[in-house]
Amino acid sequence: MNLIQIDIIEALKSIFLYNPKAPLIFTRFFFWAFFAFVLLGYSLVYKNKNRSIRAGYLFVLSVFFYYKSSGFFFFLMLFSIVLDYFVGKWIYHSQNQTHRKFLLAMSVIINMSVLAYFKYSYFFIDSINTLFDTHFVVVNHLAQAANSVAGTHFDIDRILLPVGISFYTFQTISYSVDVYRRDTEPVKNLIDYGFFVSFFPQLVAGPIMRASGFIKQIYTDFSVSKVEFGWAIFMILKGLIKKIFIGDYIAVNFVDRIFSAPLTYTGFENLMALFGYSLQVYVDFSGYTDIAIGVALLMGFRLPQNFNSPYKAKNVSDFWRRWHMSLSSWLKDYLYIPIGGNRSGSVFSYVSLVILLAIVVLLVGNFILIPVFAVVILSFAILMRFFPGFKRNVDTNINLMLTMLLGGLWHGASLNFIIWGGLNGIGLVIYKFWRKISPWEAYNNWAATIWKIAVTFTFITFTRIFFRAESMAIVKDMLHQIGSAFKISVIPEVLVAYKWVFLIMLLGFITHWLSYKFKQKIEDWFVATPIWVKAIIATVVVVLVYQSISSDMQAFIYFQF
């Protein structure tokens, strides 16, 4: 083979084979070449009266996208698609309520078991070893089976988390539940269902789509108005600015450095890293969502809003109505309300809380917590028995607390995530009581609004230390530096040393806190401009954004969940 043939083969490999060092993400140039190819083919099928041809085309390319993002884990997604398509079909056509419940339970158990295998195997093995003084090691049984059957050479000593598994698992479960509740009819065929689950713009990090809101779009005519086209381009450019120009820059040049070694930095730098991470996680995740919404709209599909200026929230409850809205509403509709909502605690609520406390004991690795928790539970039980008002308060708030704790556990089997979820749950419960007695709750003048936003944002930022830190040791080190090594005298020096980081952080916060009316004017102006103006603006933005890259492309934060 000559050099030209070798170069061609290597180029084809880079195009069609998965590269774990360069997974396909929105910010890579390869993605935009891929999307251009998608649109080229889509222009040939989007008007076809047989909607399944359009769905099938996008389904195949979505599977390829997932393969390029996560390797052979696409087989796992296909398994989930086949399973829940037929389960949904059987549930819908069955008239036997017991049979329908069994099928729904089967869907939930299988999907959650697969999710638990990948997300929590290390936790389960470590817990067993701790409890019984055993020495089990994690073995990737799926990789082992693939090696035996297909002669592959996958690593069996590690279990890697498939990108986006939590998102598409929640999506398939909600489909089965919606069909069971008869809130939606099942899709017409397997291809349509596969498209619904795998649609590549939202596949690996949401927003989580509901069957009732998306499936009907599969069977409607393609339609994108001139205004919608302009808005889609605006959303894509906004997402790129958020993710690369703001998020990646402050992460690489400041936030990641502080969190990796907090004791080598002053308390002021640690505090600024916390606020920087609050900005980073927002622009990173909402930037992904903006791009996903824009890309999907160019193909005629409307994805749900996932963020609504969450740092404008005046309280913790308001924050969770604005942040990751598709997950918040999913937890509300498929967990919080079914287990009782704010009406009363159920047996499931209390059993789940005990299980969560047991998980905390295992994560801490200190069994002295067992009698401590036992005393706390017994004390609560006695108070609830003799004081109806106390029982009523516990009953109406336990499901809220449980939902937030499970939301933390959803992010991973880590004590940090459970503390993060617990703190947010406590914040929600405290606010429920505070708003009833606060003399300032009704005040909404500019000073009161600023104060409420500042307090809420500071609280949310504080909880993020548990979300971002890789261990409790990092948390302790950061809190120690902030509390005892603040060093006010070095603040001017730090501001100068990291001037570009702080200027970009300031830009990010200012643009976030701008009024809705002002933002809408900018958006409307862009949408109204001629196509050639949009092209010039897009070119300038892309050049500036990609010029700001100071290291390799950073994966989106929520890919790890």
- The residues that are catalytic are 411
Peptide bond into 20 cis (omega under 30): no
Do residues 202 and 168 make contact, with C-beta atoms less than 8 angstroms apart? no
- The structure tokens listed for 532 are 């050639």
How far is 217 from 46, CA to CA, in rounded Å? 12
Q: If we measure between CA atoms, which residue out of 233, 176, 169, 235 comes closest to residue 198?
A: 169
Tell me the three state secondary structure of residue 300. Answer: coil
332-336 long-range Cβ contacts below 8 angstroms, 24+ apart: 332/403, 334/173, 334/174, 334/177, 335/403, 335/406, 336/399, 336/400, 336/403
Q: Name the one residue in this structure whose structure tokens are 């929230």.
A: 313
Q: If we measure between CA atoms, which residue out of 542, 478, 457 comes closest to residue 281?
A: 457
Do residues 227 and 527 make contact, with C-beta atoms less than 8 angstroms apart? yes
Q: If we measure between CA atoms, which residue out of 307, 304, 171 comes closest to residue 239?
A: 307
Q: If we measure between CA atoms, which residue out of 328, 249, 197, 242 comes closest to residue 502?
A: 249
| Count of other CB atoms within 10 angstroms of residue 190 | 16
Do residues 411 and 417 make contact, with C-beta atoms less than 8 angstroms apart? yes
- The structure tokens listed for 536 are 């010039």
How far is 300 from 60, CA to CA, in rounded Å? 18
Q: One-letter amino acid identity for 508?
A: G
CA atoms within 13 A on the CB side of 462: 13
Q: Quick one: which H or E segment has residue 504?
A: helix 499-513
How far is 489 from 481, CA to CA, in rounded Å? 15
Q: If we measure between CA atoms, which residue out of 432, 378, 358, 375 comes closest to residue 400?
A: 432
- The structure tokens listed for 472 are 């409790």
Handedness of CA 201, 207, 208, 214 (dihedral sign): negative
Do residues 68 and 35 make contact, with C-beta atoms less than 8 angstroms apart? no
Q: If we measure between CA atoms, which residue out of 166, 10, 197, 5 comes closest to residue 85?
A: 197
Q: Name the one residue in this structure whose structure tokens are 């158990």.
A: 109
Handedness of CA 334, 110, 420, 418 (dihedral sign): positive
